[in-house]
Structure 1
Amino acid sequence: MATANHSVLHVLTGYRPKTTAECADVERVRGALEAGAPWDRMSPLHITASALIVHPDSGRVLLRWHQRHQSWLLVGGHGDPGEYDPLAIALREGREETGLPDLTPWPDAEVRHLVIVPVPANSREPAHEHADVRFVLATSAPEAVRPENPDAPLRWLTPDEARMAITEANILDTLSRVEPLLAR
């Protein structure tokens, strides 16, 4: 388990939370790491990784429709068995969900946001929480985007358009952290 926890501890080492709530979320993640099994999907709080995909040349961002939540979200999800590096998980999930083969961390590989997100119960699992570690990934070929299935359409949007489409406050917070990077 030390190896599984090391990757998260490593990415959190230089991370500076921006709000009091985010400080509390980081402490809860550290507590989950100490308690063990932070990647176990059966744990009431477990780690996930996601990313806001950007096309720096156009300043646009990519959002994915999430059928279960009925909202536009980031790409991302759970680690596969034996997968414990949040950035690697965000990259894999990004490629799977968008078909973009050239995704790369942008402008660097730093965590941009860490947030604990409640997930409602459904027929397969009880209510739980995701400790979502978020990155920014870039593509130079936005036209190559392909949704992984018809129920998960993808949309390239300007930050202003994205703000109008996003209904989740935590996703808006992530967008607000990335937008200044696109303006450079």
Structure 2
Amino acid sequence: MSLHDDAVLVLKRYEGQEALRQVYLEHLEAHPDGMWKACGAGHLTASALVIDPDRGRVLLTLHRKLRMWLQMGGHCEPQDVSLEAAALREAAEESGIAGLAPLPGGPVRLDRHPIPAPCHWHLDVQYAAVAPAGATQTISDESLDLRWFPYAEVADVADESVVRLLEATRARL
């Protein structure tokens, strides 16, 4: 199965955010290259909120270009076999944590946000991943900083999209 086909299947199974889910599906139907950064009309991305539920905290990265505290994520790559695999790969690359376990149930949220030209939109499919006990993070070249935040502090440092992702993740826990 292609990554494009996996994305369509994942989105058809996703429950919630019906209008936005339909935007994603229509985008993929209109753009066979809609999974890739080269798609000028916008493209799907995959991200994962790394959580440590036992300690009530979340790992956020201070994005180098955007200078915002965000979950780990980014563009899909040809070797990704699924959206979930892309999200976990990105989270592992950006956090340095091996053995992240996806939270069961597929994506937690969808988030469509504008990006600078030449592309116009990121259609982010957002997952959550549980860090293994004793995980140690390592900052990547894509980050200015990498830090664990207690759930209660996320709204003080991150934007509404991250706050909504954390709320949806906690509801699923």
TM > 0.5: yes
* TM-score normalised according to structure 2 size: 0.89
DSSP-derived class of the 1:152 partner: strand
Cα distance in 2 for partners of 1:180, 1:26 equals 20
DSSP-derived class of the 2:144 partner: coil
Paired residue total: 171
What corresponds to 2:25 in structure 1? 30
Residue deviations 1:76-96, cap 9 Å, x none? 111112435110001111111
Over 3 Å counting, the alpha-carbon distance change for 1:49 and 1:150 in structure 2 is closer
Equivalent AA in structure 1 for residue 48 of structure 2: A
Over 3 Å counting, the alpha-carbon distance change for 1:82 and 1:149 in structure 2 is closer
Over 3 Å counting, the alpha-carbon distance change for 1:84 and 1:28 in structure 2 is farther
How high is the sequence identity, in percent, across the aligned residues? 31
2:102 to 100, 105, 121: 105
In the TM superposition, residue 142 of structure 1 has moved relative to its aligned partner by 4.9
Query: Which structure 2 segments of 5+ residues have no match?
Result: none
Query: Which structure 1 segments of 5+ residues have no match?
Result: none
**Matches for 1:133-172 after TM superposition, within 5 Å:** 133-149=125-141, 151-166=143-158, 168-172=159-163
Residue deviations 1:55-95, cap 9 Å, x none? 12101111110122121001011111243511000111111
Equivalent AA in structure 2 for residue 131 of structure 1: L
Q: Does residue 58 in structure 1 map to residue 49 in structure 2?
A: no
Coordinate RMSD, CA, aligned? 1.9
Q: In terms of mean alpha carbon deviation, does 171-180 or 111-120 score higher?
A: 171-180
DSSP-derived class of the 2:28 partner: helix
